[in-house]
Chains A and B, each alone.
Chain A
Amino acid sequence: MTTDEFRDDLTALLPRLWRYAMVKCRNPDKANDLVQATCERALSRSHQFQAGTRLDAWTITIMQSIWKNDLRRDSIRRGAGFVDAEDAGLVDTDESAEGKIFLSQVLQAVDKLPEAQKDAVYLVYVQGLSYEEAAATLDIPAGTLTSRLVRGRSKIAEMINDPSERERSIERT
């Protein structure tokens, strides 16, 4: 892969990186910082990327590492980690379109999961990584990832079936 190709592929990933950054940061300014830092590190390490492997998984691994090591504590200290998703603008609550109501409920259910389960669900079912790729991205064993997925999805099923459970999850968050 040439430098131009790498840069073009990374540029094409920006919308997906932004959405994942928003899920993690819940704050546009922080998400912007996270995406910028991720791209900066990806560019400086582009020679380490192996052509033929997935650039999205490789880049998300970088984002995960930056979030874990640099930005997460700062965000939580500032309270961003405890802002409700709706207040943070993560979820569009405009209910004028019926289809959006359901999609909004889906996204809110994911957002109410504990961070470890939310990451697992997001990487596999939104970013489209395999179980193995998601486990490598999160630096956990594949068995741990699948357990988080099962627990997370069981919790989502409870929330979808019982709105009061969603409220309890909000209180626990």
Chain B
Amino acid sequence: MTLSDEKLLAYADGLLSPAEIADMDRLLADDPDARETIAALEQSALPYREAAEALIDVPDLSHIADHIQSYQPVASPSRLSRFAPLAASIAVFFVVGLLAGQHIFPPSAPKPTQWAVWVDRIASYQALYTRASVSPTNPPDSRKVGQMLRVSKLLGTTIKAPDLAPVDADYKYAKVFAIDGRPLAQIAYLPKSGEPFSLCLMKTDKPDHDPKFSTAHGVNVASWRKGGIAYVYVGKTPRDMMDRYIGAIRAETGA
């Protein structure tokens, strides 16, 4: 047998060009040993991946996932993305905004509800966003899956990121924050045109209600509750587009 294992394998795995296949066919005609190897390779072209995924059970690995998410590496400045400095600034402003939230309302105004304070803080955070705040590149599906797993675990229920591609807005990332010690998830989207917007989620034990619209810090806000989750849409989005995105979000998630 003069044909190399590499050639035989590439032939059996369908990795050769039509011209290379034609060459191989000619060579195989005179090489019974190679034909025998090819026959074995064809017989062993089996669903290996499907077998592993179906039969090797994966246990709850949340203890490892938690460790990964809470790990604090020492970042090398040269490897920070060009968005990192801006993201860091936003994070600082967000923390400051959260801490200062109770001072946003003037003393003479009626004492707002805790929920209204939280919505106001979220709006003050979103007010800092521009198109440059989020990467123009869409994340791979695997990253989206990992981020939504983290969000779902945090909120104690399966959360699916609404697919807003049909209304021309792309998923960018999901992050987790805390507001008064309670977990808050932010799912960020970038529309084809206009400013980015976010869908924020928190657990709630309050009754469901339909979207209520308001404005804070120059940001349009819509908040509603459904099935134990409070949703807040925030963005410098024109109202007609906002209705479109919220309609798509509610249709996608049943919220």
Beta-carbon contact of B48 and A3 below 8 Å:
no
- Which listed segment binds B: A42-50, A62-70, A71-79? A42-50
Beta-carbon contact of A2 and B71 below 8 Å:
no
Residue A83 lies at the interface, judged by CB distance under 8 Å to chain B: no
The DSSP consensus for interface residues of chain B is helix
Residue B23 lies at the interface, judged by CB distance under 8 Å to chain A: no
Beta-carbon contact of A36 and B64 below 8 Å:
yes
* B46 / chain A contacts, CB cutoff of 8 Å: 106, 109, 156, 160
Beta-carbon contact of A154 and B54 below 8 Å:
no
Residue A22 lies at the interface, judged by CB distance under 8 Å to chain B: yes
Beta-carbon contact of B49 and A126 below 8 Å:
yes
Identify the closest chain A residue to B141 (Cβ): A12
Beta-carbon contact of A146 and B140 below 8 Å:
no
* B44 / chain A contacts, CB cutoff of 8 Å: 153-154, 156-157, 160
* B54 / chain A contacts, CB cutoff of 8 Å: 92, 99-100, 103
Residue A104 lies at the interface, judged by CB distance under 8 Å to chain B: yes
Q: In angstroms, how far is the closest chain A Cβ from the Cβ of B53?
A: 7
Beta-carbon contact of A121 and B57 below 8 Å:
no
B55-112 interface (Cβ within 8 A of A): 55-59, 61, 64-65, 67-69, 71, 73, 75-76, 79-81, 83-84, 87
Residue B51 lies at the interface, judged by CB distance under 8 Å to chain A: yes
A118-173 interface (Cβ within 8 A of B): 121-122, 125-126, 128, 131, 142-143, 146-147, 149-150, 153-154, 156-158, 160-161
Task: Count residues of B near A (Cβ-Cβ below 8 Å).
Answer: 52
Interface centre among B43, B84, B149, B175 (most CB of A within 10 A): B43
Identify the closest chain A residue to B49 (Cβ): A126
- Which listed segment binds A: B1-9, B160-168, B209-217, B243-251? B1-9
B17-63 interface (Cβ within 8 A of A): 37, 39-41, 43-44, 46-59, 61
Beta-carbon contact of A107 and B49 below 8 Å:
no
Task: Count residues of A near B (Cβ-Cβ below 8 Å).
Answer: 58
* A107 / chain B contacts, CB cutoff of 8 Å: 48, 51-52, 55-56
User: Quick one: given A9-B142, A125-B48, A150-B37, are A47 and B56 in contact (CB under 8 Å)?
Assistant: no
* A104 / chain B contacts, CB cutoff of 8 Å: 51, 55
Residue A5 lies at the interface, judged by CB distance under 8 Å to chain B: yes
Beta-carbon contact of A100 and B55 below 8 Å:
yes
Beta-carbon contact of A149 and B51 below 8 Å:
no
Residue B145 lies at the interface, judged by CB distance under 8 Å to chain A: yes
* A146 / chain B contacts, CB cutoff of 8 Å: 4-6, 9
Kindly list 14 other residue pairs between chains A and B, CB separation below 8 angstroms, not including A15-B58, A40-B67, A90-B56.
A8-B146, A10-B68, A10-B146, A11-B150, A18-B56, A22-B56, A39-B68, A106-B46, A106-B51, A107-B51, A126-B49, A143-B6, A146-B6, A158-B40
Shortest beta-carbon contacts, A-B, top 8: A12-B146, A153-B44, A125-B48, A8-B146, A157-B40, A157-B43, A103-B51, A11-B146
Q: Using a CB–CB distance below 8 Å, which chain B residues touch chain A? A: 4-6, 8-9, 37, 39-41, 43-44, 46-59, 61, 64-65, 67-69, 71, 73, 75-76, 79-81, 83-84, 87, 139-140, 142-143, 145-147, 149-150, 173, 175
Show 13 A/B contacts (Cβ-Cβ < 8 Å), sorted by A: A11-B149, A13-B142, A15-B58, A39-B67, A40-B67, A47-B75, A104-B55, A109-B46, A122-B48, A143-B5, A146-B5, A146-B6, A150-B5
